[in-house]
Amino acid sequence: MRKAGIILFWAIVSFCVILLITLPINLQTQLIASLVVVTSMAVIKILRAEGKWRLIALAFGTAVVLRYVYWRTTSTLPPVNQLENFIPGFLLYLAEMYSVMMLALSLFVVAMPLPPRPSRAATEDNFPFVDVFVPTYNEEAGLLANTLAAAKGMDYPADKVTVWLLDDGGTLQKRTSTNLLEDQAAKVRYEELQSLCLDLGVNYLTRDRNEHAKAGNLNNGMKHSIGELIAVFDADHAPARDFLLETVGYFEDDPKLFLVQTPHFFLNPDPVERNLRTFERMPSENEMFYGIIQRGLDKWNASFFCGSAAVLRRQALDQTGGFSGLSITEDCETAIQLHANGWNSVYVDKPLIAGLQPATFASFIGQRSRWAQGMMQIMRFRFPLLKRGLSLPQRLCYMSSILFWLFPFPRAIFLFAPLCYLFLDLQIFTASGGEFLAYTLAYMLVNLMMQNYLYGAFRWPWISELYEYVQTVHLLPAVVSAIINPRKPSFKVTAKDESILVSRLSEISRPFFVIFGVLLLAFVVTIYRVYAEPYKADVTLVVGGWNLLNLVLAGCALGVVSERGERTATRRVKVSRRCEFGLDGQWYPATIDNVSVHGARVNVYAKNIPKLALDTRGEIRFKPHSGDGHEEILPVAIRNSEVAGDIVTLGCRYLPEVARHHSLVADLIFANSKQWTDFQLSRRGNPGLLRGTIWFFGLALYQTSRGLAYLFKGTGSRPEIAKEGAKT
């Protein structure tokens, strides 16, 4: 009886909604209704009303979106017998319907995400055995040393945790390769990493052949280990001391739990943030996923494995044959299979690892191409919507994550659609200027407001559009290739140990300047057509405004592909930690101001310190978080110095000589997870739609001029890149 009542209720609601969105009204009434809805949503947002009021505002917005969809479907498509108009017009319609579908899926996933889970420490007398896997392929020993030392230094019973370096760069296949250079490099790597692991007290493991990429490497690790739980960290993802304490306890609560996933926090900006200089003041792109979307997925038991910063239950993996390797995104594919087998997942919204992002725009695009192609493989091979064993919410959540990567198609259509009218005079959208104002402009405003409701402090206005545009140019052929031939893409490790020595144009920047030039020409054509065809000025101005918005995005992208040179190899992290600085046997009071994976900035109190030559040897003495409470010494080389009264500020490079020195470096950078949380919170502010739009347009204007300056100055596009560690 109760079920029948619920069905009847939703049937009545659905009927009322359909009646509302199909109600025939005149243009003036539609315009007034749109203004009322936009104003109501703005008032609710200004009053910061949450809970049911948030849902009411989203419901208002949804009504406008559905009304637009109905009008767009019934009144704006060109006649089918005019193929030159109908074909591009229908493609534009499909692109808009894709956007509406993704908005609907986003509303389902994140309209009311779970609040961050409370800390769940493991019971002291019930610590499970944990194997820590650090898979590696071509990363350098110095980078691996920091990650392994941090993993080894985690606050967990030493007899209950085993750290494994899973090396796919020193396999027997590589050490016996007919390629002499590959053969010798693999042999050197094999011996070097074996020695490093012996010094650090971790296990080194390789295999005979490089089969099934990262998934095969992880499965090989499973064959040689026995821990109840498996923690996975990428080679550049170093854990904080409390990583295991904050995660393994959840497995006590649920015997069917297969995954505890934590966010990926990065010490360095991605190329977009670095070139636009937004890293310190605006949330990173990945924070929308890890700060909101994963919590929304978690609500529906659909939070998935992200390849690193996670703990998995061995029993669950054994049941499905280990990590899935059919696609090049083994993480999401593995989670789909385990969810379908009835296992559960948990997302802990607290940064407990710190990693590195690609330094160059080309590497960034390479990484995103792999993600996009992997998701297309999953769509072809697994297709979650029809995957037996998944609940309906899980199917929708996975489809949302996969279908997102089709964005290059609609983004490209939105970019070039205005040009069909401005250059070719094609009528691909049959509507007057007044109808554009009442329907399309209202839809765009509501869409932006709904995104601001959903993602607010995690994603500022227009930033998603910028990230999608800069990826579209190169991701579009990659996605097409994966759809046509899903078995073709192969796993490629993303280079993250690079730094750019001098300012330059990216080696893949040319298409962005060509597109900008075309859009700029279209802007000139808009002005001409308004003057030459005043009887069509309303439509021309609307289409020209659309093109101008594309031009703003394209101009901002010129700044993205104009790579800024870096003074330091990696991002420094503020620590403010007391220490002593030793020089020629004399110890001075000091504080460590900030640290990076290669060096530290130390403020030393010294009235009569001698003038220091480059690479003068010194020592930092401090109490590590992990240890017996005694001070320990880390040798450094002085790279620069500044004197301000009695304070001498020294830029130092670490000189690790023994395994313990790597542990001390890891302790300085990675031990305290709270500093990462504090940094994230410091840049999470919602500027609002109006202020955020003004800020973005100002940013775009500046970045356009900067990109054109790089072009006209002839700044070289050949990559001048140094591996991490070349400088501090």
User: Which candidate in 131, 167, 168, 497 is catalytic?
Assistant: 168
Please report the DSSP string for 484-542 in residue order: H-TT-----PPP-SEEESS-EE-TT-HHHHHHHHHHHHHHHHHHHHHHH-GGGHHHHHH
DSSP assignment of 588-622 equals EEEEEEEE-SSEEEEEEE-SSPPPPPTTEEEEEEE
331 is an active site residue: yes
Active-site option among 331, 349, 497, 667: 331
Torsional class of 680: left (φ above 0), alpha (ψ -120 to 50), beta (otherwise): alpha
Give the CB-side neighbour count of residue 242, counting CA atoms within 13 A.
14
Q: Which two tokens stand for residue 424?
A: 């070719």
**Per-residue exposure over 152-180, b if at least 16 CB sit within 10 Å of its own CB, e if not:** bbbebeeebbbbbbbbbbbbebbbebeee
In single-letter form, the type of residue at position 700 comes to A
**CA–CA distance, 315 with 151 (Å, rounded to integer):** 23
What does each C-alpha distance from 405 to 353, 447, 480, 530 come to in angstroms? 26, 19, 11, 37
What's the CA gap between 250 and 257, in Å, rounded? 8
How buried is 12 (Cβ within 10 angstroms: 0-12 exposed, 13-18 middle, 19+ buried)?
A: exposed
> Which amino acid is present at 39?
T
Q: Are 298 and 382 in contact (CB under 8 A)?
A: no
CA distance 292 to 164: 32
- Beta-bridge mates of residue 722: 499
- Give dist(CA 361, CA 500) in Å, integer: 11
By C-alpha distance, which of 415, 412, 414 is closest to 477? Answer: 412
DSSP string, 296-325: HHHHTT-----SSSEEEEHHHHHHTTSS--
168 catalytically annotated: yes
Residues belonging to the active site: 168, 331
